[in-house]
């Protein structure tokens, strides 16, 4: 007995305009976790084997300085790059920065692949060829015959959505709206894939501020010794404060710069793909 309910519309994976729902998110999660572990192991090895031993050697070698009064006193080389980077907050900031670069590199590679498709002709029609609603299916077959990795990319998906809408509604305006909606969906998808990089851009300064609080606390604990004339403990504590903040802010600047460069490239690929669909497909459509 029929219930009168209409089954939900399903789109085959081989049909143009099909959007993969979960494949990219699972792959991104695996890639993000693997690269985070790799960056953590790399930085931990460098800091353990190279940075901290050199910092300890520099701090243990005081330089004798003679001032104008002929008084001689020992001075530590606290501005060495090894001393600046030796603490755990700086190591964490560098780890998050390297991780951000790897996440950005993956998205940049996807943008590069998408831009390469702009040089291909997916319609295989002459410039003067008019596309009628009855021709939409034949043009869609060209997209269906593409390899799965190419068919699921933005430009073929954009063309497939426009052709499907045009063939179903026989309206050029509806096809144009389908192209606009698909471009908005792609922009939202790009934005969602960069959410973890935005988190690291926030987390890096936060880690620097943690080092600031820890350094101030260490300096205050040595205040009693400073009253007795030994200010070395206060100096080291304040060094942690400024070094962690300096490292975090510099790392954040680099991450934000490359993040905005990638966002600019993503916006350009969406606009160029929309222009491609307009010139190669939409302008040739005629509703008879």
pLDDT value for 3? 44
- Per the structure block, which two tokens stand in for 241? 């404060």
pLDDT of residue 144: 85
Distance, CA of 100 to CA of 35 (rounded, Å): 9
Name the residue with higher pLDDT: 233 or 153: 153
- For 82-93, write each residue's pLDDT tens digit: 888 888 889 999
pLDDT tens digit string along 209-235?
888 888 777 666 665 555 555 555 556
* Average pLDDT across the chain, whole number: 81
Between 39-43, 95-99, 214-218, 270-274, the lowest mean confidence (pLDDT) is in 214-218
Distance CA 59, CA 87 (A): 13
Mean local confidence (pLDDT), 167-196: 90
Q: Report the 3 state secondary structure along 224-263.
A: HHHHCCCCHHHHHHHHHHHHHHHHHHHHHHHHHHHHHHHH
pLDDT grade for 267, boundaries at 50, 70 and 90: very high
- 114 pLDDT band (50/70/90 cuts)? very high
Structural tokens at position 267: 């916006």
Average the pLDDT over 160-164 and give the result. 90
Residues of the chain with pLDDT > 90: what percent?
Answer: 38
pLDDT for 287 equals 75
């Amino acid at each position: 007995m029929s219930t009168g309910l209409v089954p939900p519309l399903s789109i085959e994976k081989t049909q143009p305009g099909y959007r993969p729902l979960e494949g990219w998110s699972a792959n991104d999660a695996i890639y993000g976790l693997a690269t985070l572990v790799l960056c953590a192991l790399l930085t931990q090895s460098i800091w353990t084997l190279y940075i901290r031993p050199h910092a300890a050697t520099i701090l243990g070698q005081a330089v004798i300085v003679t001032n104008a009064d002929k008084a001689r006193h020992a001075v530590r080389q606290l501005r060495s790059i090894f001393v600046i980077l030796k603490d755990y907050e700086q190591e964490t900031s560098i780890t998050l920065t390297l991780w951000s670069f790897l996440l950005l590199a993956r998205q940049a590679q996807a943008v590069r692949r998408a831009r390469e498709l702009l040089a291909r002709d997916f319609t295989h029609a002459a410039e003067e060829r008019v596309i009628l609603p009855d021709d939409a299916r034949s043009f869609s077959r060209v997209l269906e015959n593409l390899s799965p990795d190419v068919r699921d990319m933005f430009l073929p998906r954009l063309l497939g959505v426009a052709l499907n809408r045009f063939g179903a509604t026989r309206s050029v305006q509806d096809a144009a709206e389908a192209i606009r909606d698909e471009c908005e969906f792609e922009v939202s998808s790009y934005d969602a894939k960069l959410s973890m990089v935005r988190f690291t851009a926030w987390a890096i300064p936060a880690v620097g501020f943690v080092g600031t609080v820890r350094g101030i606390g260490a300096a205050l604990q040595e205040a009693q010794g400073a009253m007795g004339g030994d200010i070395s403990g206060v100096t080291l504590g304040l060094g942690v404060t400024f070094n962690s903040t300096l490292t975090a802010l510099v790392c954040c600047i680099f991450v934000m710069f490359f993040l905005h460069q990638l966002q600019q490239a993503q916006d350009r690929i969406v606009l160029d793909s929309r222009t491609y669909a307009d010139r190669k497909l939409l302008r040739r459509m005629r509703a008879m």
